[in-house]
C-alpha cells in the first residue's frame, strides 16, 4: 500500500506592524536608522522622508519574543515587502523569492522547518502554477499547483523509483494516468484517488497483460489476464494475484 500524498500548504505572510505612526517609539527616522515600534517590531532601511514608511531595501524583525520572532530582509514598497527578499518565520520556515503586497507572488522557494521544500510559482501567498515539491524522504512532485495543492498535470516520483504521471485534482491522482513500478510493471488507466485505485491495463516485465480493476497499482477486483505463454484467466483478483 502506497502512502497517501500529502497536501501542500503555505502560510500567508502578514506584515501589519509597519507604517503605524501612533505606535512609534523613536522620532521620525533618518536614512539607515533603526526604528522600534511599540509591539516590539524594529526596522532599518530606506524610509520615505518625514515618514515611517519603508521604501527600498530594508530589514524588519517583527514583534514577539524568543522563537516567535520573524525576520524579513529585502525590498519594501509602501511599508510592506514588495520585490525580492527573504522572510524567516519564527518556527524556522523560510521563504526566498518575489513578493507583492506582503505575500509571496512570482517565483520563489519555501523551505519548511522539517526540510520539505517547494520551488516554483506563487500567487497570493501559496503555490499556484508550475513547481516542484520535495518531501524529506526524497519523494518528489513536479507539475501544476492550485492553491497549494497538486492539481492538473504532474509527475510524482517515489523514493523506491515508482512513478505516477497524469492528472491530479486537489492533491491526489484523479483522471487519466500511468503508474510505473520499479520492477517494470506499467498500469495505465483512469485513477480515482491517492491509493492509486483505478480501472485500466497493466503490463509487467514478463509480458503478462491485465485489464480490469486496480487497487494500490495492482490488479484487484474483476479483470482478465493474458499471460506471455498465451494462457488466459478471467475472474477475481486480490493484491495482484488471480483467485482460481
**Residue 214: what pLDDT?**
96
Average pLDDT of each block of 10 consecutive residues along the chain (244 residues)?
Answer: 38 39 43 77 85 88 74 93 95 95 96 96 96 97 96 96 96 95 95 93 96 94 96 95 90
pLDDT (0 to 100) of residue 17: 36
Partner residues linked to 142 by β-bridges: 132, 155
pLDDT of residue 33: 75
**Which DSSP symbol is given to 197?**
-
What pLDDT was estimated at residue 30? 52
What is the reported pLDDT for 9?
A: 43
CB burial of residue 202 (10 Å; 0-12, 13-18, 19+): buried
Q: Given this model, what pLDDT does residue 4 score?
A: 35
CB of 55 within 8 A of CB of 39? no
At 106 the pLDDT is 97
b/e burial code for range 177-191 (CB count within 10 A of at least 16 → b): bebbbeeebebbbbb
DSSP-based helix, strand, coil % in the chain, nearest 5: 0, 55, 40
Amino acid at each position: 500500500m502506497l502512502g497517501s500524498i500529502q497536501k501542500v500548504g503555505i502560510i500567508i505572510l502578514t506584515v501589519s506592524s509597519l507604517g503605524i505612526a501612533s505606535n512609534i517609539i523613536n522620532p521620525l527616522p533618518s536614512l539607515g536608522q533603526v526604528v522600534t515600534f511599540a509591539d516590539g517590531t524594529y526596522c532599518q532601511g530606506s524610509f520615505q522622508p518625514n515618514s515611517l514608511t519603508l521604501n527600498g531595501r530594508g530589514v524588519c524583525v517583527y514583534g514577539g519574543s524568543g522563537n516567535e520572532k520573524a525576520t524579513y530582509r529585502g525590498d519594501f514598497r509602501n511599508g510592506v515587502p514588495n520585490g525580492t527578499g527573504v522572510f524567516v518565520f519564527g518556527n524556522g520556515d523560510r521563504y526566498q523569492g518575489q513578493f507583492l503586497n506582503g505575500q509571496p507572488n512570482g517565483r520563489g522557494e519555501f523551505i519548511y522547518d522539517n526540510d520539505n521544500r517547494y520551488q516554483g510559482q506563487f500567487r497570493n501567498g501559496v503555490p499556484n502554477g508550475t513547481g516542484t515539491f520535495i518531501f524529506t524522504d526524497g519523494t518528489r512532485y513536479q507539475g501544476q499547483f492550485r492553491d497549494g495543492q497538486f492539481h492538473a498535470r504532474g509527475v510524482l516520483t517515489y523514493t523506491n523509483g515508482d512513478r505516477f504521471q497524469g492528472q491530479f485534482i486537489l492533491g491526489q491522482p484523479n483522471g487519466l494516468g500511468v503508474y510505473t513500478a520499479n520492477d517494470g510493471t506499467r498500469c495505465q488507466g483512469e485513477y480515482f484517488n491517492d491509493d492509486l485505485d483505478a480501472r485500466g491495463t497493466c503490463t509487467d516485465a514478463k509480458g503478462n497483460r491485465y485489464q480490469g480493476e486496480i487497487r494500490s497499482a495492482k490488479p484487484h477486483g474483476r479483470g482478465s489476464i493474458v499471460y506471455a505463454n498465451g494462457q488466459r484467466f478471467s475472474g477475481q483478483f486480490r493484491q495482484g494475484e488471480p483467485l482460481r
